[in-house]
Amino acid sequence: MKKIVLSSMVCAALIYGADVLPVEKRTFDQSKFIPDISLVMDASYVDRNVKDAEVGHLEVPGVAHGLLGSHAHGGDEHATYNADNGFNLNYAELVLSSSVDPFFTMDGVFHFSENGVHVEELFFTSNALGHGTRVKGGKFNSNFGYLNEQHHHAWDFADMPLVYEAFLGMHGLNEKGAQIQWTAPIPFYFMAGLEVLQGENEQMFGKEEMEMVDNAYAPTATEEIAGSDGVSMVIAYIKASHDIGNTTLLGGLSYAQGDSRIDHIDEHEAEEGHAFSGDAKLYGADFVVLHQLDSYSSIKWQSEYLQRELDGTQYAYNATSGDLMQPTMLKEQGGLYSQLIYTHDKNWRMGVRYDTILKNDVTNNGSDVEQPSGLDKYTAMIEYHTSEFARFRLQYSHDNAMFNEDGEREKIDTIILQANISIGAHAAHSF
């Protein structure tokens, strides 16, 4: 008897469940309001002539260390893109976007990786002010320069240009804050923008308090370097563009200024690591020329020059005595990348890139610290697109900019086979 009741109940539930109302008849159905959703995966196979264990300890002398590979930082395992030899799952990027109301749109960009979820961007935008004005608030990629605003999968190479990665780290200027941009009411494109940001870039900007001991081997006191509260970074830029027939020229000048706190010091590893506290300024100039041969074929030349000035105090332990040294430090460094991309048709694209750090002036307590020259990198790539939604890229790079902990140059040859696949809403990239 129990069995019959039970089975008839199951049957009833099944019948009831099967009788799903069509979408248009569901009284409180909200499925039409689902935002545009897309998911982009980026995976790669890497073959690098340097061991994974070593690559994380390499540095661009005087500029940055720990650019490649994965390393533990503040307790988190933190991996750069294409970190390891062999297969890498760089991320799954989930993008949600929709109108909020007649005045706002909202976009969210989330990076899922094996280490967790990272809010890449989350912002609202409004055009409602009119007069060519657009405002944005939340967390977003700054519009500094040309490349910075683009997501990784929109880049023409699997890795970031050397100067960007060395100065700003692999996320570039990705900050919480507010942005206002104004397009001028004139016949050609002229845009001016201002951004007020929290200023938390891991490589160059920052405002957190730092703590260190006065001697790494026999600490007697704790040294505290005060942080600053609130907004600590301002970015401004202008961009202008002009068309000559099928050729588009776009140029921009950018400036960023903020506090700088770099905390890579650890008394347990007194011989390496350092910290820096001071002011940071970053100047950028970018220039892009795109010549369209037909609807599917084009040649694009893209170059950016970045220069920075870090002015403050460096903290490092003396390797023998363990004493905390606090020399004044001035870094004036500049670098550029220049790349040429040929799009043959909807299937094939290819390109080359040249990277260099061409200015590396470091002054310690008023005296010059000699830095090696010839910090450059050469990259070539070829892409095959099966459709607009799937791209396979083979990239080779030869990097002369990396040095090991003994101060010897480590020439790095890297082959990356990258797969970038997307599903869902159609992506529309801006220029």
Say which residue the tokens 């061991």 belong to. 51
In this structure, are strands 328-343 and 133-141 parallel, antiparallel, or unpaired?
Answer: unpaired
**144 φ/ψ angles, rounded to the nearest 5 degrees:** -55, 135
Please report whether residue 242 would count as binding other proteins according to CB under 8 A. yes
List 80, 88, 125, 179, residue binding other proteins (CB under 8 A): 125
Q: How many residues bind other proteins (CB under 8 A)?
A: 48
Residue ranges of the alpha helices (H) in 102-240?
A: 162-168
Name which of 19 and 294 has its Cβ closer to other proteins: 294
CB 60 within 8 A of CB 375: yes
Please report whether residue 182 would count as binding other proteins according to CB under 8 A. yes
Scanning 16-24, 132-140, 265-273, 397-405 for contacts with other proteins by CB under 8 A, the matching segment is 132-140
Name which of 181 and 395 has its Cβ closer to other proteins: 181
Name which of 101 and 408 has its Cβ closer to other proteins: 101
Name which of 251 and 372 has its Cβ closer to other proteins: 251
CB 242 within 8 A of CB 186: no
- Which residues between 258 and 277 bind other proteins (CB under 8 A)? none
List 68, 197, 250, 265, residue binding other proteins (CB under 8 A): 250
Please report whether residue 389 would count as binding other proteins according to CB under 8 A. yes
Residue ranges of the alpha helices (H) in 103-252?
A: 162-168
Say which residue the tokens 């990277």 belong to. 355
| CA atoms of 239 and 146, how far apart (whole Å) | 9
CB of 391 to other proteins, least distance (A): 14
- Residue among 118, 163, 123 nearest 142 (CA): 123
Name which of 125 and 339 has its Cβ closer to other proteins: 125
CB of 132 to other proteins, least distance (A): 4
Query: What is the DSSP code string of 121-132?
Result: EEEEEE-TT-TT
List 44, 248, 333, 400, residue binding other proteins (CB under 8 A): 248
Provide the sign of the torsion angle of the four alpha carbons 20, 22, 23, 26, taken in this order.
Answer: negative
Please report whether residue 102 would count as binding other proteins according to CB under 8 A. yes
| CA atoms of 308 and 286, how far apart (whole Å) | 15
List 22, 75, 116, 187, residue binding other proteins (CB under 8 A): 187
For residue 18, give the H/E element and its range. helix 2-18
The residue ranges that bind other proteins (CB under 8 A) are 99, 102, 105, 125, 127-134, 181-191, 239, 241-243, 248, 250, 290, 292, 294-296, 298, 345-347, 386-389, 423, 426, 428-431
